[in-house]
Amino acid sequence: MHKIVIITNLNKDTDGSVTKKCAKVLESKFDILYDDGTACEKTKEKLSGAYAAIVIGGDGTILASSVAAAQCSVPLLGVNLGNLGYLADIELSHLEDGLESFANGNFSVEERFMLEAVCHSADGKKTVLPALNDIVISRASYTRMIALDVLVDSQFLSSYIGDGIVISTPTGSTAYSLSAGGPVAHPGLDVSIITPVCSHTLGSKPVIVPGKSDISIRFHKTFDDKSMLTADGQRAIKIVDGDEITVSASKLKTKLIKVTNKTFCEILHKKLQG
């Protein structure tokens, strides 16, 4: 039998009841491993060679598992226990039907474009952070601004002074980028969206560039002693003057399993209507 991994957000499925229901539907057709998604390397080890992973929680739980799953080329099927999400395909009210469709092979797989931030520190250290949603460069304090120069394929784009910038994928265009005033992009596109956060320059607007472009960030003038580089709100490092940051397309792809016929436009309409 194929191996699958059930990744459960224990803060959402506190009594394990949803996990047990999933296992009951799937146990006759799959060997099942369990994980809580809190340790990337442990999750990656379990995902190695798996047919798929069932992610119980919501979009945040899928984001937390996306890098390990992408590295193992394992598709994710989300079970939504939170608010209406964009990534989790199965609602709790249709749990058994959705899982049976998956078990019977009645599903499709979407590949999602991912980004990769590379930070070269002044001390020679290199840090690589992949992201399905977004890369965020933000101030580390509550009182001071940061100022950044952004270049696209070595061509100067703009200087941003404010709380920072969000560089998002189309998948992430409905998350932090949207809250900061960025546009919504269809998840089938391979583009990057550069959105300033609380910019003090009135002319600063979001910019969409090809996904294959290299986006370089330099500290033109920093009013904060330290700033943060964050991937998907999950992984973060401190950055300082002298660090060189490049954001570009990742070789990784997140694979999402679809067992329903919900379209992006339908989900977007429901989400934006609140």
Spacing of C-alpha 268 from chain mean position = 17
**Of residues 35, 59, 134, 232, which has the active-site annotation?**
59
Beta-ladder partners of 53: 5, 76
The span from the CA of 66 to the CA of 222, in Å, is 32
15 is catalytic: no
Residue 172 near residue 131 (C-beta atoms within 8 A): yes
Give which of 219, 130, 112 is closest to 167, Cα–Cα: 130
Quick one: tokens of 259? 């067992």
Quick one: tokens of 82? 């939170």
Phi, psi torsion values for 83, nearest 5 degrees: -75, 175
End-to-end CA distance of the chain: 42
Cite the beta strand spans of the chain per DSSP E.
2-8, 30-35, 52-57, 76-80, 90-91, 108-120, 126-131, 134-139, 146-152, 155-162, 164-168, 191-197, 207-210, 215-222, 227-231, 235-239, 244-258
Quick one: tokens of 94? 């249709």
Residue 253 near residue 69 (C-beta atoms within 8 A): no
Active-site residue numbers? Answer: 59
